[in-house]
Structure 1
Amino acid sequence: MKQIDIEIINVKNISKMKASFPLEKGLYAFVGENGCGKSNLMLALSLIVKTSSSHMLTSNDLSPDSHIKIKIGESEDFWFCKSGRLTTGKFGQIKDRKSPKVRKVLIASTHMDGFYEGSIFYGRRFDDFNIIDRFMSNPKMKESLIEADSFVRETLGYILHNDTGYYPNLKKIKTRAIAEENNFKGIPYFNEINGHIISQYRMSSGESMLISLIDFINNLVIKNVRKNNDILFLIDEVELALHPAAVYRLIKTLEKLISDASSNLIIYFSTHSSELIHRISPKNIFYIENINGDVEIINPCYPNYAVRNLYVPNGFDFLLLVEDELAKSLVEKVIREYKLSNSKLCCVLPCGGWSQILKLHYDMITYNTLGVGKSIISILDGDAKDDVKEAEKKYSDYKKLRKSFLPIPSIEKYLRKKCILDKDRDFIKLINDKYFNIRSLTDIIHDYENDRRTQTHSDKDGKAFYKILISNLKKSGITEDAFITYLCDDICSYESISDFANKLKSLLS
């Protein structure tokens, strides 16, 4: 059986790992608790499909003896640390399309065609984020676009909305040559709504992630003229960007694709999603345990074993639906500090935007998804109140759903409000002193306010400001996950949450 043999030594939180994974057509899953090394393993495997993944590891993630050994059949690569970066020490040359110059590129003997989608914040879908606005400011921009292929339009609509006709005006840049002329690494997509063009990077995280994935499927699988070649897809934590129902339809789509494809299509997920795990064969589930850096892998692994530590068991009393990981952290902290879970089991589940939460909540109630004796509560971001009121006018059944709102808007809007709109000096000092020890938050704010892109676009959702903050945090060695966890503590100490806690207490009684 064809397989990947991989050894990882001293890379991030993995001190030692040695394992083999099949390269046979099918769906596979890496599962395990937070911090076990799933994403690090996916990043290491991504070196097979894109050597540029090595740039995602810095000197803070490596030590002088760090290495990754990958073997596929007779081909082998030894990635070692040099000057704080991973390299194979093997280079090739490619001709630059824009000029007669020849570029030196890192190469790998184990290379395969494929796709790597990193986490919701650091995936490749954001590679071109910083230059898209300049492209769209060109008056002749529309002349560079064509209608997206029907497979991409219809698949996107089906997965996200169960409607193949949901994106009739989805477009993309005509050719790779045009994309490269505008310095894009990929080929961005655009959606036209009421005459307005919206870039892929201004769409939701779920839309942006899926467009990139479906585009690769279209080019590597649907249009593929080569038969029986190996294609490797690596998708990290897809559930962070997608509604559970969308995850279900994605899996159905991929299962059919694998069944129909003449190519040897191999898809690996790292996931916490019970919906996804339960659709994968036990022999294709790899449970990762990290014991002080030494990684052990359990395979085969049955789904109920895999999710036993990832989800509260089926005996929970309350299911709380929230929008994202920050909301989950905040709600769980309030439940702990106010002792709201006494004599009851509560499960907090991130599900996406407010509209997705309410639809899921309504469907679960309507179809009695959870069974008898279990209650569902929707906890929505504070900035969704007006939208929810309008939705309740349109769908009167939404009024009956048990719900509450966080004392803050989304994380991006909250940070922008405090730092940019309100100029809250106490909050800025608090955040600056705790996290920005290399470059001050005041300087970052100043640069943001004087950036031409900020002056051109309002950034009402705060995503651009948030992206700048995270970029500077990485330079300080602070991960985004850690920042979100600590920021939750800061919010609870800085904002009055007693009213929210009291409301939550009444909902849990």
Structure 2
Amino acid sequence: MKDYFGTTEPDAYITSEFAGATRSWRKNLNGNWAQDANGVMDLKGFYEGSLIFGNRFKNTSYEVLRQLDRIDGARLSVADDFIRNNLGGILHNNPEFYEKLLRVNSKEAGPDFTFRGEIFYYEKGGRRVSQFHMSTGENLLVSVLHSLHLRNMDRASLNKPCIMFLDEIELALHPSSLKRLVGFLKEMANEFNYAIYFSTHSIELIGSIQPQNIFFLERHSDGSLEVLNPCYPAYATRILYDHSGYDHVFLVEDDLAKEVINRLLRRHSLLSSKLVHILPCGGYTNVIELAREVVNSNLVGRIATVSVILDGDVQREAEAYMLKHSIKNNIPLSFLPIESLEKYLKAKLFDNVDHKLLRKLNDFLFHQVSLTELIETYRSSGGSAKDTGGKRLYKIIEEELQRRKKSRADLVEMIVDHLVEFEIEEMNRIAAYLKGRLS
């Protein structure tokens, strides 16, 4: 515990809970960490640290490095193609980039060698390069792939969870390699039932993750910690200046609002000779706070105009929030005549059924288990009376989409098609506002 977390306060503790089992670590009267266990917690996984801890830094003494540089090639064996192919595929978009990948572990090397674990080498063009002479990205990734390969081989049952923590893995990877790594890990997560967590400050990494999978840790002035989930990349990174150079920036709540505005901009030819960017931020308070930061810090430059467009059901709350927090700025504020995606689905599919929308979604998205069956499951569960925000209904719908390899984006696209076709008057009102802002 001290190795990983450093010196801690006497009353510090860590408690985790999974499937009814708990594990707690607290300091005893002697100041030593002691574990208290209750129930069976059967978890497997690995941790890869950023600077000091983790597999790639456990053999970093100069004496060990000299030993490994002089090792006899006869002691090396061919590493698994899983590691070699994915190392080349992720870093160079070429699975055959590394001609040969070799490995040696401490038991095979013999008594004269004092390193721990597994060391890798690659051969290219007749030259052998040890793991410690590889680039930082190669060194990092070969360790991660090795740890992942061990877990893959050890997966006796895919029903048991396996958790991986990767700490700031982007520090040594090119953005293009990072995108390929994320795609690869998504495949591994789906195939082997992994839960993979990154800690990161990379906008490239966060930008490729769905908002429902982003957990933003925000520390407030009183020292308390809040976890925001789902969280949109724009709010998590606050790096709006990355979007400087745009003529117009619209801050909206979610992906539904973004798609509505995108569609209207294209439909009414409002994008000619203009660079327009739409940033979903997640929740009206996030949008308002981000807008305030834009004003205070000039995050998008002096050329860009900034507008805020919130969902129509939060107008009263948004105005009260701004009044309470004394938020006064000259950023134009408008409201969509639609609610959040979750509320919209509940209103149109359960409270007052829109048969045209129901048929459209059934025809294009719900081929095996119909939307009618899903809604009946929702009704019979008895939770609809308390589900004012529609989140319980949406969860049922989302789970079925995932089973059919569909996504929230597919659902949003269908809903916007319906809005543009059948709610013409309201869409025209939004279009008129956009024309006014972009003129």
TM-score range, shorter chain: 0.5 to 0.7
Relative to structure 1, the CA distance from residue 436 to residue 161 in structure 2 (aligned partners, 3 Å threshold; closer, same or farther) is same
Is the partner of 1:7 in helix, strand or coil? helix
Q: Do 2:342 and 2:394's aligned partners in 1 also have CA atoms closer than 8 Å?
A: yes
Aligned-pair distance for 1:483?
A: 2.7
Q: How do 1:377-396 and structure 2 match up within 5 A?
A: 377-395=307-325
Relative to structure 1, the CA distance from residue 386 to residue 450 in structure 2 (aligned partners, 3 Å threshold; closer, same or farther) is same
Aligned-pair distance for 1:115?
A: 4.0
Partner of 2:169: 28
* Alignment equivalent of 2:256, drawn from 310, 318, 326: 326
Q: Do 2:357 and 2:415's aligned partners in 1 also have CA atoms closer than 8 Å?
A: no
Relative to structure 1, the CA distance from residue 243 to residue 342 in structure 2 (aligned partners, 3 Å threshold; closer, same or farther) is closer
More helix per residue = 2
Q: Which is bigger in relative contact order (C-alpha 8 A, separation at least 6)?
A: 1
Q: How many angstroms apart in 2 are the aligned matches of 1:427 and 1:420?
A: 12
Counterpart of 2:332, as a letter, is R
Counterpart of 2:218, as a letter, is L
Matched, 1:52 2:110: no
Q: How many angstroms apart in 2 are the aligned matches of 1:414 and 1:17?
A: 45
Q: Which runs of 5+ in 2 are unaligned?
A: 1-54, 58-81, 98-136, 144-165, 200-207
Q: Do 1:325 and 1:350's aligned partners in 2 also have CA atoms closer than 8 Å?
A: yes
Partner of 2:271: 341
Relative to structure 1, the CA distance from residue 161 to residue 400 in structure 2 (aligned partners, 3 Å threshold; closer, same or farther) is farther
Which structure: larger Rg? Answer: 2
Q: Do 2:307 and 2:331's aligned partners in 1 also have CA atoms closer than 8 Å?
A: yes
Q: How many angstroms apart in 2 are the aligned matches of 1:464 and 1:16?
A: 44
Q: How do 1:106-505 and structure 2 match up within 5 A?
A: 115=197, 119-120=209-210, 123=213, 159-166=217-224, 204-206=228-230, 240-241=231-232, 244=235, 246-247=236-237, 314-395=244-325, 397-398=327-328, 400-452=330-382, 454=383, 458-496=386-424, 497-505=427-435
Aligned-pair distance for 1:436?
A: 1.2
Aligned-pair distance for 1:8?
A: 5.3
Q: Which runs of 5+ in 1 are unaligned?
A: 57-113, 126-155, 171-202, 207-239, 249-272, 276-310
Relative to structure 1, the CA distance from residue 31 to residue 482 in structure 2 (aligned partners, 3 Å threshold; closer, same or farther) is farther
Aligned-pair distance for 1:503?
A: 1.0
Q: Do 2:250 and 2:277's aligned partners in 1 also have CA atoms closer than 8 Å?
A: yes
Q: Do 1:358 and 1:398's aligned partners in 2 also have CA atoms closer than 8 Å?
A: no
Partner of 1:7: 85
Counterpart of 2:168, as a letter, is L
Aligned-pair identity (%): 24
Instruction: Please give the TM-score of this superposition, normalised by the length of structure 2.
Output: 0.54
Q: How many angstroms apart in 2 are the aligned matches of 1:351 and 1:17?
A: 37
Is the partner of 1:404 in helix, strand or coil? strand
Aligned-pair distance for 1:458?
A: 1.1
Aligned-pair distance for 1:378?
A: 0.9
What are the superposed Cα offsets for residues 340-387 of structure 1, whole Å, 9 maximum, x if unpaired? Answer: 222321111122211111121122113323332221111212222111
Counterpart of 2:223, as a letter, is G
Q: How many angstroms apart in 2 are the aligned matches of 1:389 and 1:205?
A: 23
Aligned-pair distance for 1:116?
A: 5.9
Partner of 1:105: none
What are the superposed Cα offsets for residues 414-468 of structure 1, whole Å, 9 maximum, x if unpaired? Answer: 111100111222221222222111121111111111114x15x611111111111
Relative to structure 1, the CA distance from residue 356 to residue 423 in structure 2 (aligned partners, 3 Å threshold; closer, same or farther) is same
Q: How many angstroms apart in 2 are the aligned matches of 1:31 and 1:464?
A: 40
RMSD, aligned CA = 4.0
Q: Do 1:392 and 1:399's aligned partners in 2 also have CA atoms closer than 8 Å?
A: no
Counterpart of 1:7, as a letter, is N
Relative to structure 1, the CA distance from residue 407 to residue 7 in structure 2 (aligned partners, 3 Å threshold; closer, same or farther) is farther
More strand per residue = 1
Aligned-pair distance for 1:122?
A: 6.6
Relative to structure 1, the CA distance from residue 508 to residue 357 in structure 2 (aligned partners, 3 Å threshold; closer, same or farther) is same
Aligned-pair distance for 1:396?
A: 5.2
Count, aligned residues: 281
